Amino acid sequence: MIGSLARKIFGSANDRRVRAYYPKVEAINALEPELEALSDEQLRARTEDFRKQVANGALLDDLLVPAFATVREAAKRTLGQRHFDVQLIGGMVLHEGAIAEMKTGEGKTLVATLPVYLNSLTGKGVHVVTVNDYLAKRDAEWMGQIYNFLGLKVGVIVHGLDDEQRKVAYECDVTYGTNNELGFDYLRDNMKYELPHMVQRGHIFAIVDEVDSILVDEARTPLIISGPLDDRSEFYNTIDKFIPTLDKAHFDVDEKLRTVTLTETGMEFLEGKLREADLVKGDSLYAIENVSVVHHVNQALRAHKMFQRDRDYIVKNDEVVIIDEFTGRMMPGRRYSEGLHQALEAKERATVQPENQTLASITFQNYFRLYDKLAGMTGTASTEADEFADIYRLEVVEVPTNMPMVRDDQDDEVYRTGAEKYRAIIALIKDCKERGQPVLVGTTSIEKSEMLAQSLSNEGWEQHDFSDVNAFAKLYSGDGGAKNALVFAVLNARYHEQEAYIISQAGVPGAVTIATNMAGRGTDIQLGGNADMRIRQEVGDLAAGPDRTAKEKKIRDEVARLKEKALAAGGLFVLGTERHEARRIDNQLRGRSGRQGDPGTSKFFLSLEDDLMRIFGSDQLGGMLTKLGLQENEAIVHPWINKALEKAQQKVEARNFDIRKNLLKFDDVMNDQRKVIFEQRIELMRDDDVAETVADMRRSVVSELVARHIPQNAYPEQWDTPGLKIELQNVLGLTLPVDEWAKEEGIADEEVRERVTRSADEVMAAKVAKYGAEIMRYVEKSVLLQTLDHLWREHLVMLDHLRQVIGFRGYAQRDPLNEYKSEAFQLFDTLLNRLREGVTAQLMRIEIVQAPPAQTELPPMQAHHINPDTGEDELALAAASAAEARVAAADRKTDDPSTWGKVGRNEVCPCGSGKKYKHCHGRFA
């Protein structure tokens, strides 16, 4: 109470912050007449001038006003758009490395051009990050007009580019790309063997669009690069055989949590079995060396005790196929990770398929923390302000809208059952249709979208495929068409380009669009439709001329007329079919309506059967509803309910934040190690000559070996000379008379160390003499890098497994994170030891039979990012849609348009009519 009163009088901290930007806005505005008077050449020449000033030590902050004014003038001349004052403010927020919260339709794409231009003046490259390839391409082309006008180079990183193309794109002043592709390049770069092969040139400044989606939602799963691993089917089969020998006392099953754990006796029992099979090292199963074995035992146990054939999976043609737990559908091709799928195959006596090994991985949190300066923009950040501050040190600044917001956000309507709720939803959709009001129906999953689509189809509505750009053609006449054509579209965030088109027309009167929250992201819904998108679709390949001009005008007039109608019908109605766990996602949905001062309405429909209500609604809410007298087929609308739900959402948000924070803490351990390794690698690649490094390694190995067998200050009688002799042979390939040396008068360990070192150095010197210094330097470097990579990958797998088993360990009182940290450190130390030994051993034995290959090949690799909401692999989808766009003519069936993929407008129509596609199946109604 007092707080909100105080805010009324003094304004909020945010208001004050925003107010502080106005003097600069005034200064930028004041430059306008002067810049308007410049010719295009003169305007462009300012870029060179700014660059010189920066090179001479001028601060970017001091150039902000003239640089922003320059960009605004260029935007006016190229796009015909003048940055609004609030857009200038957004640009300043981004330049300061904060998050600009700007509502949908405020023009964030254009806002980014201001700080991008300013920060590109250093010549070090600015990255703009988008959520999908379509948006990266769209924004680079769209904003590229401004950049090119000002003499900046623009690059785009999308799926399917080769290294050469990537490198060129990263060399540009501005590079647009998705979080997945940028992270992927970073990981891949750090597996290269030569510096010039690296494609990225540093991480200076990134602006992340839809920053909440990328840094909060997507960040729940890491980016992974994997490659094939050696065949280990023997191993799985061996472990599998032990499981059926367990009895009830050996494990505990928790049906609810879906976990199974070995008991103390079970562990002892298995340890015996594993020992017999020679699978345990050292004296305890829980020693660090056995982490992987324990992990696979756990997986085998899960495969047997938690997974049921024909319920969770089926076995078909020697393959284990997962059954989706929610839809009951088979998911061929999908595999459980971490060896679980192999464990199921072993259990079912199916062939154990080769597995993939993680070659590298990183979370988005850690990727984006690489940047010297990070900024973000989105319509919805304030609910997650704590997380941005905590994890990324990013402040959220709410930038006011250009026009006052007048959308009517109505209270939720609550029903008793889902069926009643859906009846009300359909009634509202029909009502919108009759009044010609466009409606966007938001769902929480693809399944729910499909269910709603089915209900509409049952009542005679026609669903338009998302690839059908004519979905709304029937509505374009406005008038009767809007009300009578019972058509709707369903978007599910897979075919970004087509979905962008459909969502851009979702503001046409009578349009009904059902979409999950991710669908059509980045494209705003304008009332009456989007004229530019329609022009590109409908007359895009028409040469400029009177014909085209006339058609363009017709479309623009039509859109203007439709806009009047949509306005009269109340603007866009956003209908939420369920509350999401996070308020932010609900706000994203509402934000689709009411852009740039347009009218609009938003409303959520809920039922007591919704997940959020069932799980988090608490008894309090139930009691409240009884008090309010909730009846069958009747809805309750009351501000109390909204408040209560908001509380429930806040609780879930806090819990999810905790989960993410905890995950990050574990990942930070690996991240620190990754940084060390990657830095080392780059340094090694940078060195022309690593002879010094490998010689140092060799000397430490020798010291280490000698120390292991000759205790300090020990008499020669106490030396383990036979052991030392064998190890010198094994590791260094040296046969030395250590036993003779031990008999010498007054000999000490120091003397032995020197002699061994000398012999080893001689061997290496002989190799240099034999093969030439140049070849040896090359060989040393590649042996070093390859051994490092090999060990690092093994290390990653170990860390993964360690993380899986750390919770199961018997350290009752200890904190798993601390345990993980100290064991991970030990493993890292071991890695360094093994590196020294491995490199030395290889080099001591190396014989070069032919000239070394010019370039070391990277292993075959795949990149993955599992979307945390849908469980789908985004990079596989990106690859599939890139492939789909290029369906070979031979694979197209003339009578089945779904096999055609993307057809060029001027191609001959694949149906065989002989006409051009645009005059046949590709024709717009």
Q: Which residues bind ligand ADP (CB under 6 A)?
A: 81-84, 87, 102, 104-110, 524
Residue 563's binding partner among ligand ADP, Mg ion, none (Cβ under 5 to 8 angstroms by kind) is none
User: Which amino acid is present at 392?
Assistant: Y
* Residue number, nearest CB to ligand ADP: 107
Contact assessment for residue 396 and residue 101, using Cβ atoms and an 8 Å cutoff: yes
Shortest CB 134 distance to ligand ADP, Å: 13
Shortest CB 212 distance to Mg ion, Å: 12
Residue 83's binding partner among Mg ion, ligand ADP, none (Cβ under 5 to 8 angstroms by kind) is ligand ADP
Shortest CB 540 distance to ligand ADP, Å: 17
Residue 504's binding partner among Mg ion, ligand ADP, none (Cβ under 5 to 8 angstroms by kind) is none
Contact assessment for residue 465 and residue 498, using Cβ atoms and an 8 Å cutoff: no
- Could you give the strand order of the β-sheet that contains 330-331, starting from the edge strand earlier in sequence? 313-316, 319-323, 330-331
What is the number of other CB atoms lying within 10 angstroms of the CB of residue 835? 19
Distance CA 74, CA 71 (A): 5
Residue 105's binding partner among ligand ADP, Mg ion, none (Cβ under 5 to 8 angstroms by kind) is ligand ADP
Residue 102's binding partner among Mg ion, ligand ADP, none (Cβ under 5 to 8 angstroms by kind) is ligand ADP
Shortest CB 142 distance to Mg ion, Å: 11
Distance CA 159, CA 865 (A): 13
Q: Write out the binding residues for Mg ion, residues 105-164 only, by CB under 5 A.
A: 108
Strand segments, DSSP code E, in 9-167 are: 99-101, 126-130, 154-157
Of 81 and 245, the one with the shorter C-beta distance to ligand ADP is: 81
Shortest CB 104 distance to Mg ion, Å: 7
Shortest CB 507 distance to ligand ADP, Å: 12
Q: Is 207 helix (H, G, I), strand (E, B) or coil?
A: strand
Residue 484 corresponds to which tokens in the numbers above? 């009578």
Shortest CB 582 distance to Mg ion, Å: 19
Of 36 and 754, the one with the shorter C-beta distance to ligand ADP is: 36
Residue 558 corresponds to which tokens in the numbers above? 């039509």
Shortest CB 469 distance to Mg ion, Å: 21
Of 181 and 209, the one with the shorter C-beta distance to ligand ADP is: 209
User: b/e map of 45-76 (b: 16 or more CB within 10 Å)?
Assistant: ebbeebbebbeeeeebeebbbbbbbbbbbbbb
Distance CA 171, CA 849 (A): 39
Q: Total number of residues binding Mg ion (CB under 5 A)?
A: 2
Contact assessment for residue 165 and residue 201, using Cβ atoms and an 8 Å cutoff: no
DSSP type of residue 908? B
User: Which amino acid is present at 739?
Assistant: D
Shortest CB 338 distance to ligand ADP, Å: 38
Encoded one letter per residue, x for contact with Mg ion by CB under 5 A and - for no contact, window 57-96 reads: ----------------------------------------
Of 104 and 649, the one with the shorter C-beta distance to ligand ADP is: 104
Shortest CB 213 distance to Mg ion, Å: 11
Q: Is 595 helix (H, G, I), strand (E, B) or coil?
A: helix
Of 51 and 592, the one with the shorter C-beta distance to Mg ion is: 592
Contact assessment for residue 152 and residue 120, using Cβ atoms and an 8 Å cutoff: yes
For tokens 């794409």, the residue is 109
Of 103 and 166, the one with the shorter C-beta distance to ligand ADP is: 103
Of 304 and 563, the one with the shorter C-beta distance to ligand ADP is: 563
Residue 922's binding partner among Mg ion, ligand ADP, none (Cβ under 5 to 8 angstroms by kind) is none
Q: How far is CA 426 from CA 112, 326, 452, 458, 613, in A?
A: 40, 24, 8, 12, 21
What is the number of other CB atoms lying within 10 angstroms of the CB of residue 242? 19
Of 210 and 581, the one with the shorter C-beta distance to Mg ion is: 210
Residue 721's binding partner among Mg ion, ligand ADP, none (Cβ under 5 to 8 angstroms by kind) is none
Shortest CB 591 distance to ligand ADP, Å: 8
Contact assessment for residue 589 and residue 439, using Cβ atoms and an 8 Å cutoff: no
CA-nearest of 248, 239, 330 to 293 is: 239
Q: Interacting stretch for Mg ion, rule CB under 5 A, among 37-45, 219-227, 409-417, 518-526?
A: 518-526
Shortest CB 440 distance to Mg ion, Å: 16
Residue 316's binding partner among Mg ion, ligand ADP, none (Cβ under 5 to 8 angstroms by kind) is none
**Binding of residue 442 to Mg ion (CB under 5 A):** no
Helix axes 133-149, 108-120, angle to 10 degrees: 60
- The residues with which 362 forms a beta bridge, in sequence order, are 223
Q: Is 255 helix (H, G, I), strand (E, B) or coil?
A: coil
Shortest CB 300 distance to Mg ion, Å: 48
Of 134 and 604, the one with the shorter C-beta distance to Mg ion is: 134
Contact assessment for residue 894 and residue 912, using Cβ atoms and an 8 Å cutoff: yes
Shortest CB 102 distance to ligand ADP, Å: 6
Of 359 and 397, the one with the shorter C-beta distance to ligand ADP is: 397
User: Which amino acid is present at 236?
Assistant: Y
Residue 119's binding partner among ligand ADP, Mg ion, none (Cβ under 5 to 8 angstroms by kind) is none
Distance CA 677, CA 685 (A): 12
Contact assessment for residue 862 and residue 226, using Cβ atoms and an 8 Å cutoff: yes
Q: Phi/psi of residue 206, each to 5°?
A: -125, 140
What is the number of other CB atoms lying within 10 angstroms of the CB of residue 849? 5
Residue 82's binding partner among Mg ion, ligand ADP, none (Cβ under 5 to 8 angstroms by kind) is ligand ADP
Of 112 and 274, the one with the shorter C-beta distance to Mg ion is: 112
Of 105 and 838, the one with the shorter C-beta distance to ligand ADP is: 105
Of 105 and 617, the one with the shorter C-beta distance to ligand ADP is: 105
DSSP type of residue 399? P
Contact assessment for residue 517 and residue 585, using Cβ atoms and an 8 Å cutoff: yes
Residue 481's binding partner among Mg ion, ligand ADP, none (Cβ under 5 to 8 angstroms by kind) is none
Of 21 and 236, the one with the shorter C-beta distance to ligand ADP is: 21
Residue 110's binding partner among Mg ion, ligand ADP, none (Cβ under 5 to 8 angstroms by kind) is ligand ADP
**Binding of residue 522 to Mg ion (CB under 5 A):** yes
Give residue 367's Cα distance to chain centre.
10
Residue 438's binding partner among ligand ADP, Mg ion, none (Cβ under 5 to 8 angstroms by kind) is none
Distance CA 106, CA 380 (A): 13
Of 107 and 481, the one with the shorter C-beta distance to ligand ADP is: 107
- The residues with which 491 forms a beta bridge, in sequence order, are 515
User: Which amino acid is present at 491?
Assistant: L
Distance CA 703, CA 269 (A): 41
Shortest CB 145 distance to ligand ADP, Å: 12
Distance CA 591, CA 523 (A): 12
Given the rule CB under 5 A, which residues bind Mg ion? 108, 522
